[in-house]
Amino acid sequence: MKTKIDSKIGAYFSKITLKLSTPPSKHLVHLYADYVEVISLFSNSNFVTASDIADRFKDEGIITKKKEDSEQAEGNDMNEQWINDIFFVLEERTFLYKSDYPFELHGNSRIKLIQQSNLTNRHKLYIFLLLSSCLYQFGDFEPELTSEFEFVCYQVLLKYMPSHAVVKSFGKNSEYSGTAIEKIRLLAKELKVGVNDNFLNKISTRGNQERGLDLIGWVPFDDNVANHFSILSQCACGKEWYKKLGETRRYENYYDFYCAKPLHAFFIPYSLINYQNSDFYQADEISIPTLLFERKRILNYITDTSFFGALSSKQLVDKCIEYEEDII
């Protein structure tokens, strides 16, 4: 029987046009590196070169021609250097992700997907995270990608926390039912924390959204004192993920955490590790103290990939791997 995801995949690939949509600022080279990876994914193990990317960027209007010859020559040099910078990020990823990286680089200007027969579930998880960070291209599958990204993050938080910790889903895959207020009160009982009604009463009595909290983990004590280590987590795939950084902090108003404020964590599918500088790309957007789980860190804490086979998104990943587009 054909499933809903099968039908969506068939419809999507019958009309697909690979395009960056609204180009990000050029200094965000890691996002352009993601786009080059998507192009390479759809090249079906054929090499994509820096020259191919330059031609594609011109066709898409990402690189524009100058009117004067002198301006054109200077612009060509700048564009060539910029594309070299993008390929440098891709080269860094081969060192950062090592055997988890599903692409191979030859020299510093050619990239291709590794042979399909050599692709493991860890490679496919990387591709899943890549697709989740490119919703501009895969928006038809946003419900599946975002919900299952949250599920993947649940697996990561479960592994990251001590074995005796409690980890719960509170967002799209919530273990709780009812209105937002009812769910918040149910969780409060498990956390053994008091509830601040002055803030909780500001929430709609009919709303059932999680109010910014997707995952929570805590290390319990065998007593009734609400003093313990806890992590409040948000998962986001949108390109403006940084605008959601503060959402879990409203729970410090809803709950009376006793003598120990919770740690706030944020999960995104983007590859933000700047391998050369040992910091994050877009670090200037991280304006609130946050424990950040990005693509590399997520993969680090997935040791068992058996769950991946049951995800609807795996079918999308497999289709992307077998699909081939004439990219030039």
Closest to 36 (Cα-Cα) out of 107, 99, 89: 89
Q: Which band of pLDDT confidence, cut at 50, 70 and 90, is reported for residue 131?
A: very high
Q: What is the DSSP letter of 21?
A: S
Same-domain pairing of 60 and 120: yes
Rounded to a whole number of angstroms, the distance between the first and last alpha carbons of the chain is 36
Same-domain pairing of 85 and 51: yes
* 204 phi, psi to nearest 5 deg: -60, 135
Write out pLDDT tens, residues 280-318: 999 999 999 999 999 999 999 999 999 999 999 999 999
Same-domain pairing of 230 and 258: yes
Same-domain pairing of 93 and 151: no
Please tell me the distance from the alpha carbon of residue 40 to that of residue 51, in angstroms, as a whole number. Answer: 13
Chain mean pLDDT for the chain: 92
Same-domain pairing of 190 and 75: no
Same-domain pairing of 111 and 173: no
- Global pTM value: 0.94
- Residue 67 in domain: yes
Please tell me the distance from the alpha carbon of residue 168 to that of residue 257, in angstroms, as a whole number. Answer: 18
How many domains does the chain contain in total? 2
CATH of the domain at 186: 3.40.1350
Instruction: Say whether pLDDT at 70 is over 70.
Output: no
Same-domain pairing of 21 and 86: yes
- Residue 328 in domain: no
- Cβ pair 86, 30 in contact under 8 A: no
Same-domain pairing of 125 and 155: no
Please tell me the distance from the alpha carbon of residue 40 to that of residue 48, in angstroms, as a whole number. Answer: 6
Same-domain pairing of 13 and 152: no
**Three-class DSSP labels, 31-81:** HHHHHHHHHHHCCCCCCEEHHHHHHHHHHCCCCCCCCCHHHHHHHHHHHHH
pLDDT on residue 1: 38
Q: Note down the domain range covering 128.
A: 4-141+314-322
Write out pLDDT tens, residues 137-183: 999 999 999 999 999 999 999 999 999 999 999 998 998 989 999 99
Instruction: Say whether pLDDT at 2 is over 80.
Output: no
Same-domain pairing of 70 and 55: yes
Instruction: Say whether pLDDT at 73 is over 80.
Output: no
